[in-house]
């Protein structure tokens, strides 16, 4: 599927709070062993993994993740690493070690979501349907505490969206600041968080950090 087809498929499959989708997890764990796409982490996913595993952020990063550069955005993206057999390193004896704190992508699966600079939309995608029961989107979000993360989600979305716009500007200007900005984003997105503060406070600090360091970096 090319990029435009992929974008079209997202917009064609957006669902509202009262819409239903078909799914019924059989808890076979296959999606934790053979997921086709890497599991991308938000900053608060890494924060939750560190807390749930009693590690520091850096220890959790080294043990469970790797960092890649977004193909289009050129921003740092931290993903979960896999074992050689393709299974997630957080899968032990067929169960997620951090079930209550698992990353948003895992809690949301089989749905995906999209941030437009102001709010999130949720969409169905080509993924496991399990036993295929009808589920309402709003019930699904409640069941997996996705609304608990709303303020953090919005702050995260704004932070990354603002950084993506700023990076596009630097790339267009062929600026020498690209590499420095990538490093600053890695720090602000993932590495700077204080585990004793709330994730919302941390994300506000990350936004201020980039605003103070880079003139013209804006958050709407």
Task: Give the interface with ligand SF4 as residue ranges (CB under 6 A).
Answer: 25-32, 39, 80, 88, 90-91, 96, 102-103, 106, 128, 130
Query: Which H/E stretch holds residue 96?
Result: strand 95-96
Q: Is the Cβ of residue 107 or residue 158 nearer to ligand SF4 in the bound state? A: 107
CA gap 42, 60 in Å, rounded: 14
CA gap 158, 143 in Å, rounded: 25
Q: How far is the CB of 209 from ligand SF4 (least distance, A)?
A: 28
- Show the tokens assigned to 217: 């970096």
CA gap 184, 8 in Å, rounded: 32
Q: Is the Cβ of residue 88 or residue 170 nearer to ligand SF4 in the bound state? A: 88
Query: Which H/E stretch holds residue 107?
Result: helix 104-108
Q: How far is the CB of 89 from ligand SF4 (least distance, A)?
A: 7
Q: Is the Cβ of residue 156 or residue 214 nearer to ligand SF4 in the bound state? A: 156
- Show the tokens assigned to 80: 């979960």
Q: How far is the CB of 44 from ligand SF4 (least distance, A)?
A: 14
Q: Is the Cβ of residue 90 or residue 167 nearer to ligand SF4 in the bound state? A: 90
CA gap 162, 170 in Å, rounded: 13
The distance in angstroms from the start CA to the end CA of the chain is 32
DSSP letter (8 states) at residue 88: B
Q: How far is the CB of 49 from ligand SF4 (least distance, A)?
A: 8
Q: Is the Cβ of residue 96 or residue 219 nearer to ligand SF4 in the bound state? A: 96
- Which three-class secondary structure state does DSSP give residue 198? coil
Q: How far is the CB of 187 from ligand SF4 (least distance, A)?
A: 24
């Amino acid at each position: 599927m090319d990029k435009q087809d992929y974008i079209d498929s997202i917009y064609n499959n957006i669902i509202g709070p009262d819409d239903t989708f078909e799914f019924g997890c059989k808890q076979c764990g296959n999606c934790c062993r053979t997921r086709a796409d890497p599991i991308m982490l938000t900053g608060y996913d890494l924060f939750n993994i560190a807390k749930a595993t009693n590690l520091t952020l850096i220890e959790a990063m080294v043990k469970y993740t790797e960092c890649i550069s977004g193909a289009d955005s050129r921003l740092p993206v931290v993903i979960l690493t896999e074992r050689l057999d393709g299974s997630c390193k957080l899968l032990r004896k067929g169960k997620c070690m951090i079930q209550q704190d698992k990353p948003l992508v895992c809690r949301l699966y089989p749905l995906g979501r999209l941030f437009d600079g102001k709010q999130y939309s949720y969409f169905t995608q080509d993924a496991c349907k399990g036993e295929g029961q009808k589920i309402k989107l709003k019930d699904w979000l409640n069941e997996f505490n996705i609304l608990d993360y709303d303020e953090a989600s919005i702050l995260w979305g704004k932070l990354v969206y603002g950084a993506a716009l700023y990076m596009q500007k630097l790339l267009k200007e062929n600026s020498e600041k690209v590499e420095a900005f990538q490093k600053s984003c890695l720090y602000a997105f993932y590495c700077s968080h204080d585990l004793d503060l709330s994730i919302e406070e941390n994300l506000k600090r990350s936004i201020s950090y980039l605003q103070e360091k880079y003139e013209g970096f804006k958050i709407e």
